[in-house]
Each structure stands twice: as structure tokens, then as C-alpha cells.
Structure 1
Amino acid sequence: MKMNRFNQWTITALLLLILSSFSSADFIKQPAEVIDAEANTAIQQFYKEVKGGEAFLSKVKGYLVFPSVVKAGFVIGGKYGEGVLRVNGKSVGYYSIAAGSVGFQMGAQKASYIIAFVTQDALDKFIRSNGWEAGVDGAITVAKWGAGTDISTISYQNPIYAFVFGEKGLMYNLNLEGTKFTKLNR
């Protein structure tokens, strides 16, 4: 089926409108101080939205905080964000999260991610890696709790848990397989 010029322009304009809804700062590499400040805000939001979240993070060996991961696409899509690895509450490294996808998709969204390393072995493997891919270098269990749900029932049997949250609480049906994490020089 051929697409006429009007449809091409309409789709292009719609995609540009969606992408422009995110501030240009979302696509600029942030300095460490900015990432840390935004991560602190995201953690406070996590504590507020996820009952038991503070107790959970206090028990894990370390966690990545990506305060703003932008996902956008029109047939071909991608996501990107920058964040910080915290161990014992201190920033020990900065990372990017990125993934691409192909298929029926249109739109954009922004969310915060926390990826918690429950075991020391999982944390050590992540830190030693020179680029880490979910599903290849480690399996991530995506939390499927809704906003306001108490997560204190987590069994801690899996080595890595991911939480995706935003304005409406945790988001369902997220797949992190194939997502790449890369260490940043900050």
C-alpha cells in the first residue's frame, strides 16, 4: 500500500509532536551531579509510590537508578536514559540504559527505573562487565506490582529485580531482555 504525501507528513508531524513533549534536556548527557540529584528525586518517588520500597532497597547489595528513561518509536523505536549505581547509599558509577525495537509501535513515554541487585555475585558481575545485556549477562525479574502495593512479600530468591515507575505507579508488562547497560565516564 502506497502512502500519500499527506499521510507521510501527518505521521512525521505526529512523531515530532510526541518527541517534542519531552524536554531537550532528556537527550543531553547529564553531569554526575545532575544524575545524582535526579536519582535522589526518583528514589523518593519510589518510596512514596511503592509500599515497602525503602525496606527493600535497604536489604539489597546495590541498585541502579535511571531517573528518566525515554522510550519513543514509530515502527522502529528505542529507549535511552542515564543513571547511577548506588552501593550502601553512595554513588559508585554512572551508566546508560539503551534498547531498540522493531514492530507495531507508535508513541513515546518517560519513566524511572530501579534495578536492584539482591546478591553480591550479581552486583559483582555487573560491576566487572564492560557492557552488560539483560537476558544475556543476567536475568532480571521485572516487578509486577501496582502503585500502592506492598512489595515486602518479595522472596529475594532472584538475583536481580527491576521496578519501572512514573506518574501512575509501576508499569506492567515491561520486557528488559536485550536492554544494554554501558558504563559512562562521569
Structure 2
Amino acid sequence: MKRYASYLPLIFSFVYALYPVAASAGQGVYQRVDSAFRVLYELNATPEKGIPHDLLSSCAGIAIFPGVIKGGFILGANYGEGILVVRDQKTNKWKGPTFLTMGGGSFGWQIGLESVDFVMVIMNERGVRAFLSNNATLGVDLSVAAGPVGRKLEAATDASLKAEVYSYSRARGFFAGVSLQGVYIYNDYDANQAFYLHPYLPSEILYGDIPKVPEEAQRLLTYLERFH
């Protein structure tokens, strides 16, 4: 990793250069929540290729990033907007969403531009807290691995699940487990205020007792309630 350190300024410059492209294809906060629901629903529409129910019933949270823009020419970068929902460990109810952005870079021969959907299943409370820290780096601050697929976890697979985040992606119409490394996660405070019409902090949304969750989020939360 050290030998790539000198390229980091170029990668970050590319990320920021990519931002206008992503913003032009960006979504309002309500559409972002709706798109996140559709991504998760479509991922699980084919159970044999979806997230195992055992994983969903035991995870601490889920981050969904619909339509992440990935681009590259030798150096690669990505930018996306998404949401995070968490499971209340006491009541087993789902709460949120709070809004996130993601960005990162990669090395190696690459060229082109594409839109990719990402789903990240967060397995423990430490992982959720890292997502909220505003400077989490997947693969550095959090262990991340390609997620298993299927109706149920095989016993051997279940015993080997040690990562804090299991990730899935969809490009060109199909989902697959993918290992995300070097991706940065940030809180989107402006989106939170636009959605809740109040400057709630992410911790207040996920762990506090806000008066009311906008109805646009209820479909996603209700859908997740079936996995228990």
C-alpha cells in the first residue's frame, strides 16, 4: 500500500472531478430511499442468489448505495449516495434511515464509466458505529468481504463468517458478492435535514427517539421486519 501513497492526491482529485457527474445523476432524498428499497428488494427477489436470511436476521445494520458512479482511466474512483438503517438490539425493530455518501479510489488498468448498486450488511454494533464516525474506511477501519448468497448459510460458511461487513454489488442486472477495499464513508447531514426537516444527528436518528419517521421510509423498515 505504501508504494501507492504518492498516487493518493491524484485519486482524490479524480474523486472530486467525478462528483459533478454523480451529482447530475443524483437523486432527491425521497427518491434515494425508494431506490434503496428497490435495490434490496430486487437483491432478495431470487432467494437462491440473495442475501441469506440468517445473515439478515442477525445483522446489526444495512447500508444501501443505489447507482454509485464508478469511473476510471488508469486510476479509478467512485462516488455514491446511500442510506443506513440499523436494528434496535432491544426491540429487534429497524430504525432510520440516516444518509451517507461514499467515495474512494483504485489502482490498475481501467477505463470507463458505470453505475453500480451496493448493499453492505453490517454484522455488529462496532461496525455500525464505524459507519457513523464520518471517516470510516472499508478494509482499514472495518473488515469487509464478499457476501455469501443463498436461502440459508451452510454450516461451514456460517462458521467462517468473521468479517464486520459483507458486501454485494449489482452491475448490468445481476448481483454478486464483492470485496470493497479503500472506500470512504461519510455522513450526509444536509440530506438528513432535507428528509426529516430538522438537523438531527445520525446518532439521534438511529438511537434516539425522533418524533416521526417520514412515511417514505416505512416501506423499507416494514420490509426488513420480515427477517427475524
| TM-score (norm: length of structure 2) | 0.60
Correspondence for 2:153: 152
1:70-100 per-residue CA deviation (whole Å, 9 max, x = no partner) reads 2111223211110000113432311111112
1:108-152 per-residue CA deviation (whole Å, 9 max, x = no partner) reads 22221111111122222332x12211122111112265xxx4453
Q: What is the CA–CA distance in structure 2 between the aligned matches of 1:27 and 1:102, rounded to whole Å?
A: 25
Seq. identity, %: 23
Correspondence for 2:137: 133
Match of 1:35 among 14, 32, 36: 32
The DSSP-based 3-state class of the residue aligned with 2:109 is strand
8 Å contact from structure 2 (residues 131, 186) kept in 1: no
User: How far apart are 1:181 and its partner, in Å?
Assistant: 0.7
Match of 1:181 among 182, 185, 197: 185
Correspondence for 1:53: 51
Superposed, 1:44-83 pairs within 5 Å as: 44-51=41-48, 53=51, 55=53, 56-83=55-82
Correspondence for 2:12: none
Q: What is the CA–CA distance in structure 2 between the aligned matches of 1:104 and 1:151, rounded to whole Å?
A: 37
8 Å contact from structure 1 (residues 75, 106) kept in 2: yes
Superposed, 1:158-173 pairs within 5 Å as: 158-171=163-176
Comparing both structures, which one devotes a greater share of its residues to helix? 2
User: How far apart are 1:102 and its partner, in Å?
Assistant: 3.7
Query: 2:109 matched to 1:108?
Result: no
Q: For structure 1, which segment, 26-35 or 66-75, has the greater mean C-alpha deviation from structure 2 after superposition? A: 26-35
User: How far apart are 1:50 and its partner, in Å?
Assistant: 4.8
CA distance 1:79–1:63, shift in 2 (3 Å) = same
Which consecutive unaligned segments of at least 5 residues does structure 1 have?
1-18
Comparing both structures, which one devotes a greater share of its residues to strand? 1
Q: What is the CA–CA distance in structure 2 between the aligned matches of 1:169 and 1:49, rounded to whole Å?
A: 11
Superposed, 1:81-120 pairs within 5 Å as: 81-88=80-87, 89-120=94-125
Q: What is the CA–CA distance in structure 2 between the aligned matches of 1:26 and 1:126, rounded to whole Å?
A: 22
8 Å contact from structure 2 (residues 64, 118) kept in 1: yes
| TM-score (norm: length of structure 1) | 0.72
Q: What is the CA–CA distance in structure 2 between the aligned matches of 1:70 and 1:123, rounded to whole Å?
A: 24
CA distance 1:68–1:90, shift in 2 (3 Å) = farther
Over the residues paired in the alignment, what is the CA RMSD in angstroms? 2.6
8 Å contact from structure 2 (residues 64, 119) kept in 1: yes
Which consecutive unaligned segments of at least 5 residues does structure 2 have?
1-17, 88-93, 192-228
The DSSP-based 3-state class of the residue aligned with 1:57 is helix
8 Å contact from structure 1 (residues 50, 151) kept in 2: no
The amino acid that maps onto 1:180 is Y
Q: What is the CA–CA distance in structure 2 between the aligned matches of 1:151 and 1:70, rounded to whole Å?
A: 31
